[in-house]
Amino acid sequence: MPTGDRPRERLRAVGAENLTNPELVAILLRTGVTGEGVVSLATRLLSEFNGPSGLSRASLSEMCTLRGISEVKAMHIHAALELGRRAAALNPDDRPTVGTPEDVHNYLGAEMARLSQENLRVVLLNTKNIVIGVRTVYQGTVNSAAVRVAEVLRPAIRENCPAIIVVHNHPSGDPTPSPEDILVTRRIRRGASEMDIELLDHLVIGERGFVSMKRRDLGF
C-alpha cells in the first residue's frame, strides 16, 4: 500500500473524523495476515458483524472466530469501543430524556430486537428522567428463577439513581409478556420500593414491537 494511503498516515494528514470505518479499525488491528492487508481484514471484520454497532456487541470469543483476528487484536477493539462508550456517557447533552415507553424503545429497541439471546438491562435515570447509563444485568435466560432482585438494583444503588426502567428482549420476536415476566416485574418493583427506587416501567422488546408492562398494569 502506498505510504499516503496507509490508515495511520491518512489519520495524521486528514484527521480521524475523515477516515472510513475500515481504516479506523485497521489502525486498531495494526497488521493484516498473510495474503490479506490490514484494511481488507478490517473490512471483513466489520462485514461479519454488520458494522460498528454489531462489532460493539461482539464478544472477544466471537471476534476470535474470524480468521486473522487474534485475542490481542480483539482486545484492542474492545478497549477502544469501551472508551468510546464511556466518553459518550460523560457528555450530558447526548443523554436522552425518557418520558414515555416509546422513548425507551427508540433508544434501545432496534439493538435489542436483534439479539439472539435474552438480555435484561437496567436504564438508570436521574430526577429529571435523563438517562445516566444502561447496564446489562443478565444475558441468557431471563426468568423468575434466574433473576435476583439485588443484582437488578445494584447499578441503581451504586449510582444513587432514584428511578429505573427495566428492559428485556424476547428473541422469538413476540413481545407479549409471559407469566414469569409479570412475576419478575412484581418482585423487582417490591424490592425497588424498599430501597426508595422507583421502577417506572418494564419493557419487553421483540422484532414485532414492544410492550410496556406498566401501561398494561402487568406486575405494577
What's the confidence (pLDDT) of residue 215? 95
**Total count of residues recorded for the chain:** 220
Phi, psi of 36 (to 5 degrees): -145, 125
Tens of pLDDT, residues 170-187: 999 999 999 999 999 999
Tens of pLDDT, residues 106-148: 889 988 988 888 999 999 999 999 998 899 898 876 665 678 9
Separation CA 200–CA 214 (nearest Å): 7
For residues 204 and 85, the model is more confident at 204
Inform me whether the pLDDT recorded for 9 exceeds 70: yes
Tens of pLDDT, residues 152-171: 999 999 889 999 999 999 99
Separation CA 76–CA 42 (nearest Å): 13
Inform me whether the pLDDT recorded for 6 exceeds 90: no
By the 10 Å C-beta count (0-12 exposed, 13-18 middle, 19+ buried), 72 is classed as: exposed
**Cβ atoms within 10 Å of 13's Cβ, excluding its own:** 9
